[in-house]
Structure 1
Amino acid sequence: MIVEHAVLRVRPGQAAAFETAMAKARPLVTVQQGFLSIEVRPSCDDPEIYLLLIGWDRIESHRDGFRQSPDYPHWRALLHHFYDPMPVVNYYGRSIFHD
């Protein structure tokens, strides 16, 4: 599994609206080929920072699949205007622990 990681910094005062928009956007990613899981966690220290973790079977499912799909423009329209600055996306491979 590959984990897509992004720290989402939401514009001041927009956290509640962002959470509503994310709930609307979630189904757009969950139906994608190679999608495995999604978590969006608010920061305990700052109510305008969220951690996005999306599990994919491989990086290409995100980059070449979802980002090139007809659903991605809708995802972008729902969410991208909340971010300041735009988040950096990183990918992480297998865990070094095998519990």
Structure 2
Amino acid sequence: MILEAAMLQVKQGMEEEYEDAFRQASKIISSMKGYISHELQHCMEVKGKYLLLVRWETLEDHTVGFRQSNEYQEWKKLLHDFYDPFPLVEHFEKVQLS
């Protein structure tokens, strides 16, 4: 499993509109091959700051399957205009400790 993590900064005063758009976008991402789950959390200290965590079966399910799909174009239309600056997206893999 791969964990995609993105720290998102939403333009001031657009938080409620963003959350509504994200609810719509959630239907898109959850329908994709390799998708496991996702969550969006808002920061308690900084208004407009969110953390998006998405679990994928493989890195390619996100970077190729989703990012190169027609569905991603719809995702972009719904969400990308809210961000300033544009978020850095990183991928993580669980460390096996035993």
Give the TM-score normalised by the residue count of structure 2. 0.96
Q: Which aligned runs of 4 or more in structure 1 are off by greater than 4 angstroms?
A: none
Instruction: Give, in whole Å, the separation in 1 of the partners of 2:91 and 2:44.
Output: 23
What is the RMSD computed on CA atoms of the aligned residues? 1.1
* Residue 42 (1) aligns with residue 47 (2): no
Q: What runs of 5+ residues in structure 1 fail to find an aligned partner?
A: none
Instruction: Give, in whole Å, the separation in 2 of the partners of 1:97 and 1:79.
Output: 37
Report the 3-state secondary structure (helix = DSSP H, G, I; strand = E; otherwise coil) of the residue aligned with 1:32.
coil
Report the identity percentage. 37
Q: How many residues are treated as equivalent by the alignment?
A: 98
Change in Cα spacing, 1:42 to 1:97, as seen in structure 2 (3 Å) is farther
Report the 3-state secondary structure (helix = DSSP H, G, I; strand = E; otherwise coil) of the residue aligned with 2:60.
helix
Name the structure 2 match of 1:59.
Answer: 59
Give the TM-score normalised by the residue count of structure 1. 0.95
1:4-83 equivalences in 2 (<5 Å): 4-83=4-83
C-alpha displacement of 1:47:
2.1
In structure 2, give the amino acid aligned to 1:55: R
